[in-house]
Structure 1
Amino acid sequence: MIKEGQYTFIAGRGEVRPFLGKYAAKRADVFEVIERRFAAAGLGGMRYRPLRLELEITTKCNDNCRSCGMGALPLASGITMSPEQRARLVDEFDAVGLPSAAVTGGEPFVAVHALIPLIKALTGRGIDISKLTTNGVWGARRRCERTFDKLEKAGLFDNRLFVPLIMLSVGEQTMPLEWVARILHHAVTRYSDRELNVAVSSLADPASREHRVYQLMAVYEKTYGDFPHDRVHSTMRVYLDNERLPDQNKVHRPGHTSVKRWMDRCFDCFAPTVGTYILPSGLIKQDGRVYACASFDVPESLGFGNIFTDGLRTIVERANDDTYLRLVADGGGLKGLHGAVPDEFTQTTACGGFCASCGLLSNKFREVNGLPAPMPLPVIPEQQLMTRLRGATTAGQ
């Protein structure tokens, strides 16, 4: 498998080589094109401008992973974005010149009735779909090829800036590995790496550190022959806590690494980057809450509004006005907070990862500067939200 991070391109730091990396650019001048899009949309001088937004199209999922990073819900209780929500998203994305979106869930393919029209609408506005994340529920024999045909007709392969990626997650998921292998095989035999990239996200159990990707390889080779190591990218992680899912089975990872060390090793997630990731990014939850970071356990302090009530331009402006976010962006990562957060705190406080350290630093920064503690973004009741959206649609006609 191709290891993550093998090819990374950052704006202003050397040439971009097209069609290399898990998130591959399609053209060498990708950053120049993106800059022109932002300038035309009036975002030219802003420090934080997301190159990609991770979009939770549904909270429904056919699986029941104990440590779900996204806080997915059962099919009966989850919610999928309505046609009105999707239409509003497309308008908001277009208005700020957003280059690309990634679609996640929940499980996007249990909401294929919403997924396909969304892809068609976004690509119709010139907004690339850079990634689709899935557990492989559509890999059954009768469904696999039919779903690829739907994705093709919707415009997934018409991207202008980035090669689209299908990310298959095989951690705690219970989908038959035969289904996942079928999707992989179809992807690498029907499409070239200039048309489609494919990756396996193998999230290891924190206790055993075991990855199911090796089981997947064995299943693939038994059915199709040699595993396509030269086409499949890897994303190997451990499970993350998600504080937004009250009943989640928490992973006990207290950590013994100081916040200072995490700060010093943090990469610049606000530098325009293609390759390992497409950054800067952001996260939009199904109900419209927007966070200026796409990490599964993003701190609540990085939430800046609801796209359906505040508008994406206003949210981006708020993010750019946030002192904490600006220090991180201008400092090339969490290291930019040295001096803004007491050394005594960063040297003596320990945690288990970059994202956890960001949450601790955010809270401490607000404490030492006399700022109010971050509050979770309010969840707007579904009926109230739909009334607002329908009212806005009527007013615009």
Structure 2
Amino acid sequence: MIKEGAHTYIDGQGPVVPYTGKYAVKLEDPFAVIRDRWAAAGITDAYAYRPLRVEFELTDRCNDTCKSCGMGAKPVSEGVTLSDAQLDRLVAQFADVGLSSVAITGGEPFVSSRALYRFMEAARGTVDIGKLTTNGIWGTEKGTPHVFGRLAEAGFLDSRIFVPLLMVSIGEQTTPLDRIARIIHHATTEFTDRELNVAVSSLADPADRKHRVYELLDVYEKTYGQFPHDRVHSTMRVYLENERLADQAPINRPGETTVTRWMKACYDCFAPTVGTYVLPCALMKVSGDLYSCAAFNVPEKLGFGNLFQEPFREILDRVNSSAYVRTVRAGHGLKGVGDVVPPSVTDRMTCGSFCGSCKLLINAFEAATGEQEPGGRLRTFIPLQGLSVREGQSA
């Protein structure tokens, strides 16, 4: 499989090769097109933070019950799905700031397929559907061709900047691997890499770091022959702690690393990037709460507002008023915070991830500057009747 990181393109750092990388683009000058979209929307270079993508939860309902779910999904009977009114508002909000692409996640988007297809149809021609994440529950013999047909009809393949990516997630999921194999086979035989990219996200418990991807390869090759390694991108990581998942299975990550070391290894997540990633990337929870980073366990203080309560522009203004965000952006990653929070402090701080170090750094940054950051003040949106859909209700 194509390992993540094979093709990274950063604005201003060399040419872009179209149709390469997990998050491939169709254009030789995508950043120029993206900048033109921002300029037309009045989102100028004065903004230190301008997201190329928003990853949003279409629903928090899921057919599965993974104990270490990074998104904190709920059972189908308990979760909510964005309503037609909310989806229409998002399309308008994204258009207003010239957003180039979105990534759809959950929960499991296909347990709310009507809303999924409706959003795609509404967004067609306005914003690219750059990524769709699924656990592949629909990969049955009859379901696979039907779903791919509906995705094409709804406009999933009609992006203008990005090659759409279908991300199939395996790990604790209970979806039979023969369904995942069927989805991969259909995607790679019925579509070219200029029409559709395919990726497998394999998350492992940090205690043993075992990945199910090797089981998947065995299942695929027994059924279809040689695995299409040249078409399928891989993301192989371990589960992280998620403070929003109260009953998450314990994550026993061996060892602790100093925040200083995490800072030195951090890449510039706010630099315009395509190929390996699409950055900067914001995250919108099903509540409408918007975060300036799309990491699973993003610190709550990087939450800057609610897209169902206020305009995207106002939230962007709030993000860009954050001294912490501006410092990270100017310093090309977390290492830039070292001018405010010195090694004498960060050498004594330890954690198990980049996100954990970011959370600790925000608190230390506030203590050093004496100012509270504008993030972390989310007024979690409680949907009004008729604005969100529970199982068994109609929109």
2:218 match: secondary structure: helix
**1:16 and 1:31, CA in 2 relative to 1: closer, same or farther beyond 3 A?**
same
Q: What is the match of residue 52 of structure 2?
A: 51
Report what 1:121 is aligned to: 122
* Greater alpha carbon shift after TM alignment, 127-136 vs 253-262: 253-262
Shift of 1:246: 1.5
Task: List aligned pairs for 1:334-345, cutoff 5 A.
Answer: 334-345=334-345
Q: CA deviation at 1:142?
A: 1.3
Q: Runs of 5+ in structure 1 lacking a partner?
A: 388-397
Contact 1:254 1:351 in 2 (8 A): no
* Aligned structure 1 segments of 4 or more residues deviating by more than 3 angstroms: 372-376, 384-387
Question: What is the match of residue 61 of structure 2?
Answer: 60
In structure 2, the residue matched to 1:178 is 178
Deviations for 1:350-383, whole angstroms, at most 9, x for unmatched residues?
1111111000000111122223486452222222
- The 2-side partners of 1:40 and 1:254 are apart by 49
**Pair 1:262 & 2:262 matched:** yes
Is the helix fraction higher in 1 or 2?
A: 1
Q: 1-side partners of 2:385 and 2:343: how far apart?
A: 46
Q: CA deviation at 1:153?
A: 0.5
Structure 1 position 310, deviation (Å): 1.4
8 Å CA contact retained: 2:281, 2:294: yes
Partners of 1:304 and 1:181 in 2: how far apart?
39
CA deviations on 1:38-65 (whole Å, 9 max, x unpaired) are 0010102211110000010000000000
Provide the secondary structure at the position in 2 that maps to 1:5.
coil
Asked if structure 2 preserves the Cα contact closer than 8 Å seen for 1:255 and 1:353, the reply is no
State the Cα distance separating 1:384 from its structure 2 match.
Answer: 6.9
Paired position in structure 2 for 1:155: 155
Aligned residues: 386
Name 1:8's counterpart in structure 2.
8
Q: Which residue of 1 aligns with 2:216?
A: 216
Task: Give the unaligned 5+ runs of structure 2.
Answer: 389-395
Residue number in structure 1 paired with 2:391? none
Measured on the aligned residues, the alpha-carbon RMSD in Å equals 1.4
C-alpha deviations, 1:180-239, integer Å up to 9, x for none? 000000000000000000000010111111000000000001110000001000000000
The alignment status of 1:349 with 2:349, answered yes or no, reads: yes
Map of 1:1-397 to 2, 5 A cutoff?
1-45=1-45, 46-125=47-126, 127-253=127-253, 255-372=255-372, 375=376, 377-383=378-384, 386=387
Asked whether the 8 Å contact 1:63–1:173 carries over to 2, the reply is yes
Partner SS, residue 181 of structure 1: helix
TM-score, normalised by the number of residues in structure 1 = 0.95
Secondary structure class of the residue paired with 1:141: coil
Using a 3 Å threshold, how does the CA distance of structure 1 residues 312 and 254 change in structure 2: closer, same or farther? farther
Aligned-pair CA distance for 1:176: 0.4
The CA deviation at 1:385 is 9.0
Structure-1 residue corresponding to 2:393: none
**Distance of 2:27 and 2:355 partners within structure 1:** 32
1:279 partner SS? coil
**Aligned with 1:188: secondary structure?**
helix
SS of residue matched to 1:233 = strand
1:393 equivalent in structure 2:
none
Q: Secondary structure at the match of 1:199?
A: strand
Paired letter, 1:242 = N
> Residues 207 and 252 of structure 2 are in contact (CA less than 8 Å); yes or no, is this contact kept in structure 1?
no
One-letter amino acid matched to 1:296 = F
Distance 1:33 1:5 in 2: 23
**Per the alignment, in what secondary structure is the counterpart of residue 384 of structure 2?**
helix
The answer to whether the 8 A contact 1:255-1:350 is kept is: no
TM-score for both structures, normalised by structure 2:
0.95
Taking a change above 3 Å as real, the CA distance of residues 302 and 264 of structure 1, as seen in their structure-2 partners, is same
> C-alpha distance in 2, partners of 1:146/1:238?
33
Cα deviations across residues 88-136 of structure 1 (Å, max 9, x unaligned)?
00000000000000000000111101000101111232x1111100000
Post-superposition Cα deviations, 1:296-351, rounded to whole Å, max 9, x if no partner, equal 00111111000011111111111011000000011100011012113222111111
CA distance in structure 2 between the aligned counterparts of 1:130 and 1:294, rounded to whole angstroms: 14
2:250 alignment partner AA: K
Give the secondary-structure state (helix, strand or coil) at the position aligned to 2:99: coil
